Amino acid sequence: MVLEIPGATHLHSGKVRDLYEYGDHLLMVASDRISAYDFSLEPGIPDKGEILTRMSLWWFEQLADIVPNHVISTDVPEQVAGRALIVERLDMFPVECVVRGYLTGSGLADYAASGHVCGVPLPRGLVDGSRLPEPIFTPATKAEIGDHDQNITFDHVVDTIGAEDAAALRDLSIQVYRRAEEIARERGILLADTKFEFGRRPDGTIVLADEVLTPDSSRFWPADAWEPGRSQPSFDKQFVRDWLTSPESGWDRDIESAPPRLPDAIVEKTRERYLEAYERLTGRSW
Ligand SMILES: Nc1ncnc2c1ncn2[C@@H]1O[C@H](COP(=O)(O)OP(=O)(O)OP(=O)(O)O)[C@@H](O)[C@H]1O
Ligand SMILES: [Mg+2]
């Protein structure tokens, strides 16, 4: 939803966030919108935008010794207070820097078909939810609106942005994932995989951008329910998915009609899950 924000010019809206030009900088606004099964759902989850903004900010701080980030200020216009960040405007690399520590989703599909993910060979016998021997860099292209991201090989990244930058993005992504995975695991959350975006300052410095390590850019699994060989419950969206696919919702996933409106109880339980993720990770109370 495009807001009238003094001093801000709307540039772009994604499924969940809206981007504005803000003087020389950008204003990244996180809404309460939630998506599942590629549909944007109604209603939003109260406070989700603020919870995820604070979570992302907290992660940027935990990672600052590994890589600089694009955050300039949280001093944002009143009407988006708490759920927006003023960030440096960077020249973005056209690569979704995905790291996987566990196998699922499109990684699992590629592995089942070829034994590889993005050109990385993996051992035999892995199943849905298996922990990988080492985290792997599995880049993707940024999809056009409405399309899915396309997995690509590291060599493809080299062809796109050159060997030096490709290696830098891969190494930074893996380092950041390792740090984050360890922090999350200590707090009972498995960081199955995640997506980073990097950009470059005019002086050439590579900077971590976008949102980081939120449930919208990552798969969070409750560690105590992890059981390879089946699809893992999602830390944040499980109530939503379970309800949507239950007879109660009356929704048929196969006909491509919009899902029904979420009941209040599902919205409230989902909000509590986001709060729980925030509080567990950061150790701060909301
Ligand atoms: N510091 C930055 N400078 C310039 N562009 C940035 C910066 N940080 C993030 N971006 C870009 O801002 C955009 C944010 O868009 P957003 O994620 O909301 O929507 P989307 O990527 O088009 O769709 P989706 O909802 O699937 O994520 C992305 O294109 C991202 O690359
Ligand atoms: Mg995006």
Q: How many CB atoms lie within 10 A of CB 81?
A: 11
* 242 occurs within a structural domain: no
Residue nearest to atom 21 of ligand 1 (CA): 14
Domain final position from 222, 238, 272: 222
Domain final position from 89, 118, 139: 89
* 105 occurs within a structural domain: yes
Same domain, 82 and 110: no
The DSSP letter of residue 49 is: H
- pLDDT for 113-124, tens place per residue? 999 999 999 999
* Ligand 1 centroid from CA 142, angstroms: 10
Compute CA distances 46 → 17, 35, 43, 150, 233, whole Å.
15, 14, 9, 32, 22
17 Cβ below 6 A of ligand 1: yes
Instruction: Using most ligand atoms within 8 A of CB, pick from 197, 216, 218 the residue to mutate for ligand 1.
Output: 197
Share of the chain above pLDDT 90, in %: 95
- pLDDT for 116-175, tens place per residue? 999 999 999 999 999 999 999 999 998 776 778 999 999 999 999 999 999 999 999 999
Give me the pLDDT at residue 145, please.
Answer: 66
The DSSP letter of residue 27 is: E
* Residue 56 lies in domain: 1-89
Query: Rounded distance, CA 190 to CA 149, Å?
Result: 23
Q: Look at residues 49, 59, 28, 151 and name the one whose alpha carbon lies nearest to residue 99.
A: 151
Give me the pLDDT at residue 93, please.
Answer: 98
Give me the pLDDT at residue 256, please.
Answer: 80
Report field, pTM of the whole predicted structure over 0.85 = yes
Please answer whether residues 96 and 234 qualify as being in contact, where contact means their C-beta atoms are separated by less than 8 angstroms.
no
Query: Rounded distance, CA 154 to CA 144, Å?
Result: 20
Same domain, 122 and 183: yes
- pLDDT for 215-224, tens place per residue? 999 999 999 9
Domain count, the chain: 2
* Ligand sitting nearest the alpha carbon of 208: 1
14 Cβ below 6 A of ligand 1: yes
* 259 occurs within a structural domain: no
* Ligand 2 centroid from CA 284, angstroms: 27
Average pLDDT over residues 31-37: 96
Same domain, 58 and 100: no
CATH code for position 112? 3.30.470.20
Compute CA distances 224 → 42, 128, 161, 227, 228, whole Å.
30, 16, 40, 9, 12
Alpha helices by DSSP H, listed for the chain, are 48-63, 105-114, 154-161, 163-186, 238-244, 264-282
